[in-house]
Amino acid sequence: MVKRPAANPRRRMLLLKTAIWLIGLGPIVWLTVGFFRGTLGVLPVDTIILVEGRWTLVFLLATLAVTPVRRITGWNRIIQIRRLLGLFAFFHVCVHFLAYAGIDQLFAIGYIIEDVLDRRYITAGFAALVLMVPLAVTSTKGWIRRLGKRWRKLHRLAYLSASLGVLHFYWKVRADTFWPLVAALTLAALFAVRLAYRKRTPKKIVRK
């Protein structure tokens, strides 16, 4: 019998990372081309905000899916793509926010603050963005080392940020709630898997 060579894990990881880069940058390329060719509809800024908002959510949920997938499949190397996914979520939310603040509101700080305070869906979205800032800043190896155990605690904020992002989506769409509900269920399922595995892992015995 001919023995098939084992798939090279490094090569597999490289392919996966390349795919994430392509998917992560794809929407920006698509929007830029569409913008200059005039194919983004009557209000291109609305298309930019919508597309970038949706990709933010996709990358946020993908980031949160890494640990549950790792626990279920035992594929430990998958952890290597978590940071990349998280940074793409942050990148897309920044474009989403800048399109809103810069093109839609022309950086009129007063109007933006008024929106953040008065429109509940903007309040939720803005809070989600604010929570993502410390997560992106502390995603480097240096910060992981410096914060130690506190890093994990801090990065649990990703669940809160994603919940606010989903709420923002739900409040924004008003009538057609199908996709916000799909996002909410996905988030709940990821959280449930995480909790289930946490209960299974015995706590370390603390020696006095």
The binding site for ligand HEM (CB under 6 A) comprises 46, 49-50, 53-54, 56-57, 93, 96-97, 100, 122, 125-126, 128-129, 161, 165, 168-169, 172-173
Least distance from ligand HEM to the Cβ atom of residue 129, Å? 4
**43 versus 196: smaller Cβ distance to ligand HEM:** 43
**9 versus 102: smaller Cβ distance to ligand HEM:** 102
Least distance from ligand HEM to the Cβ atom of residue 169, Å? 4
Does residue 180 contact residue 166 with C-beta atoms inside 8 Å? Answer: yes
Least distance from ligand HEM to the Cβ atom of residue 81, Å? 19
**15 versus 108: smaller Cβ distance to ligand HEM:** 108
CA-to-CA distance for 160 and 192, rounded, in angstroms? Answer: 14
**179 versus 197: smaller Cβ distance to ligand HEM:** 179
Least distance from ligand HEM to the Cβ atom of residue 52, Å? 8
